[in-house]
Structure 1
Amino acid sequence: MNRLVVDANAPVSAEARVAAFDWTALAGDLDSYGCAVLSGLLTPEECRGVVALYPDENHFRSHVIMARHGFGKGEYRYFRYPLPDLIGGIRTALYPRLAGVANAWSERMGMEQRFPDDHAAFLRRCHDAGQTRPTPLLLQYVAGDFNCLHQDLYGDLWFPIQVAILLSEPDRDFTGGEFALTEQRPRMQSRVEVVPLRQGDAVAFAVNSRPVRGTKGTYRVNLRHGVSRVRSGMRHTLGVIFHDAR
């Protein structure tokens, strides 16, 4: 299992903990399934610390009630800049590990877009394009809540992979609420991937589309992600999106 073991008494930097994963295996999972799990990316203590930020509006730029917009049921808050150190550090450390996969996907799909190795350089491109609002977000669901299948694009310039980190423990803090990813394949029925996660686990997944090798060459599949109905308790998730919003 691709699990990181973090000693709570000896905090590990974001760069070191991200580097400790088997990125060859993770890239293979992204290529094969459109998603990959980074087990134990955050410690339980870190998860609880992020959840504790939710009531304090000073950390956030906006608050979205999903039912008002037809997104499902539940709510979330977008962080403001500067991001909390843990979240900003994880975002910066993850990006270059995923940029290679993103560039390979662009090449295979015949797309001109290429992504720099450095996240700050990519954010400068976003800002030059008028996309200046931070996109990391903290989601909160209670019993009966769910997140409709969707894509997080936010503008003309977007990074094709994002990461969601489960901050709550299934079967203790909540039941139900499974992360789901669907692929709409040309002239075929859609494929569904349900990803089991524990507290602190992260899932990296395709935002919009990814290449798939077929018998007649490579073709593109479109993806959407969502969360099934929470049946009891409360579920929190940290969403790490690498492009900024318009």
Structure 2
Amino acid sequence: MQNISTKIASLHWDSITESMHENGFAIIPNLLDNEQCEALKADYSKSELYRKTVVMERYRFGLGEYKYFTYPLPDLIQNLRTSIYPKLAPIANAWMKALHIQTVFPDTHQELLEQCHANHQLKATVLILKYGKSGFNTLHQDLYGDVYFPIQIVLFLNEPDEDFTGGEFVLTQQIPRAQSKAIVLKPKKGDVLVFTTNFRPIKGTKGYYRVNMKHGVSEIHSGERHTLGIIFHDALS
């Protein structure tokens, strides 16, 4: 089995970067194999891996459950986080520059975590989500403190239309003084979706302007749907 870091390094990052600039998201097909997807799903029941469980309906976040991993992260997740971040940092920095925001994101993930820790953001934000029939996730943004990275990824661990029906991934794009645009995606098992956490630039007639993005999950009609979200910044709580 190919090392995940080697696999990430060999991806067509130019086309991924272009998709991020054009659309605010990019799908990486088949990054995980079936065995890796099944292993991550099997880990859902291992309570020692997690620091916190959230029942979504309790907070009106939707209908389902998710669990935050604790440090140290499992090797596969750690390698994904540290290997993908350096490929995304130049995209994030280009966005900040286009919008005249002074933030400069560091080259390595370790340096980003050091910035989080200096701001007392010490807790892992990687989470695994599980939805059953009628489950859904309301539109939201994953911000956990003043230090944040504007791009995140989600790993799809089930096959749509086989393991579950419904449950599409929904992105909304709020253009200033206009109605929101909805983007509906249906990645396959083993695919990774790279997408905007909270905002990105779009080029207009007078230069770049900021559009706010949110994401959620449409209602699951049948079956079970598992995903694993990798957020690159740490949390206060």
**TM-score between the two structures when normalised by the length of structure 1:** 0.95
Aligned to 2:38: 48
Question: 2:49, 2:11 → 1: CA distance?
Answer: 30
- 2:174·2:181 contact (CA, 8 Å) conserved in 1? yes
Aligned to 2:167: 177
**Deviation at residue 188 of structure 1 after TM alignment:** 1.5
Aligned to 1:6: none
**Deviation at residue 227 of structure 1 after TM alignment:** 0.4
Aligned match for 1:90, one of 64, 77, 80: 80
Alignment of 1:235-246 (within 5 A): 235-246=225-236
Question: 1:13, 1:245 → 2: CA distance?
Answer: 29
AA partner of residue 13 (structure 2): W
**Deviation at residue 43 of structure 1 after TM alignment:** 0.5
1:164 aligns with 2:154: yes
1:67 aligns with 2:57: yes
Aligned match for 1:231, one of 211, 215, 221: 221
Please tell me the root mean square deviation across aligned C-alpha atoms, in Å: 0.7
- 2:170·2:217 contact (CA, 8 Å) conserved in 1? yes
Aligned match for 1:139, one of 129, 139, 143: 129
Alignment of 1:67-216 (within 5 A): 67-216=57-206
AA partner of residue 215 (structure 1): T
1:18 aligns with 2:8: yes
- 2:68·2:124 contact (CA, 8 Å) conserved in 1? yes
Question: 2:91, 2:70 → 1: CA distance?
Answer: 28
AA partner of residue 208 (structure 1): N
Q: Segments of 4+ in structure 1 off by > 2 A?
A: none
Question: 1:238, 1:96 → 2: CA distance?
Answer: 20
User: How many corresponding residue pairs?
Assistant: 236
Question: 2:4, 2:108 → 1: CA distance?
Answer: 15
**Deviation at residue 14 of structure 1 after TM alignment:** 2.3
Unpaired runs of 5+ in structure 2?
none
Q: What is the aligned-residue identity percentage?
A: 48
1:58 aligns with 2:11: no
**TM-score between the two structures when normalised by the length of structure 2:** 0.98
AA partner of residue 171 (structure 2): L
Counterpart secondary structure, 1:107 = helix
